[in-house]
């Protein structure tokens, strides 16, 4: 398929959009829960909270608040365990490689804007040769405010010299949609990810896909 639109840059959220990182989250969190004789969580329970950060994962998994005396210990142990498993089972979502090939063929820049810090993001990205042509990776380390604030998307656009109006941002969480819309980019909500449901269509004025195989058509619409 040939490029028909004026899109010059495509930016992806990481977890639940570009890469299915859930298996390694699930293994790591349940390993820590087992250590403390806590009930393991199902994959669906964990997926729902992945995009909300490690603090919310720990609060949900251990049923505690952040002021709990052992909260920091549980969180630190989870992050250490996750770091061991960062690339054990994570994989590109089916159909993403075809999207990247299309972008390469049509000389459309692409990158990542994530709320995951470089410490965790970089090793994951480096483990996939299919991502060798990423032009930019923006993490919370690079901005003063993370998504849903649009700063990360705007920073990527500025560094690559592309207007937000010529940019598509894809994500699987409401914070992604809010950030993309606020930045003035075209936005695609990824229903194949971890957080969004069909009800998001009633709230957000943007495009949606049920699978990565639909992304190219949306970019050209």
Give pLDDT tens digits for 30-74.
999 999 999 999 998 898 888 888 999 999 999 999 999 999 999
pLDDT digit string, tens, across residues 104-131: 999 999 999 999 999 999 999 999 999 9
User: pLDDT-based confidence at 1, cuts 50/70/90?
Assistant: very low
Pairing label, strands 19-20, 91-92: antiparallel
For residue 148, cis peptide bond before it (omega within 30 degrees of 0): yes
Q: CB-based burial of residue 25 (10 Å sphere; 0-12 exposed, 13-18 middle, 19+ buried)?
A: buried
> At the top level of CATH, which class does the domain 9-20+90-219 belong to?
alpha beta
> How does strand 186-190 pair with strand 91-92?
unpaired
Cα 102 to Cα 202: distance, rounded to the nearest angstrom: 30
Q: Is 220's pLDDT higher than 70?
A: yes
Domain locations in the chain as residue ranges: 9-20+90-219, 22-85
Single pTM value for the model: 0.95
CATH number for the region 22-85 comes to 1.10.150
Distance CA(218)–CA(205), nearest Å, equals 14
């Amino acid at each position: 398929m040939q490029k028909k639109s004026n899109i010059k840059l495509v930016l992806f959220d990481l977890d639940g959009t570009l890469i299915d990182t859930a298996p390694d989250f699930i293994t790591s969190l349940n390993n820590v829960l087992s250590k403390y004789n806590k009930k393991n969580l199902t994959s669906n329970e964990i997926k729902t909270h992945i995009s909300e950060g490690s603090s919310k994962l720990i609060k949900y998994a251990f049923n505690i608040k952040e002021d709990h005396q052992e909260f920091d210990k549980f969180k630190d142990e989870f992050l250490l365990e996750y770091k061991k498993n960062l690339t054990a089972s994570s994989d590109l979502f089916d159909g993403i490689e075809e999207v990247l090939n299309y972008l390469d063929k049509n000389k459309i820049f692409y990158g990542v804007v994530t709320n995951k810090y470089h410490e965790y993001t970089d090793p994951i990205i480096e483990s996939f040769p299919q991502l060798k042509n990423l032009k930019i990776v923006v993490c919370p380390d690079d901005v003063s405010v993370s998504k849903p604030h649009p700063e990360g998307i705007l920073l990527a656009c500025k560094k690559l010299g592309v207007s937000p109006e010529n940019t598509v941002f894809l994500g699987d969480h409401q914070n992604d949609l809010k950030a993309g819309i606020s930045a003035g980019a075209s936005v695609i909500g990824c229903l194949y990810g971890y957080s969004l449901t069909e009800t998001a269509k009633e709230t957000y004025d943007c495009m949606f896909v049920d699978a990565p195989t639909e992304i190219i058509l949306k970019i050209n619409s």
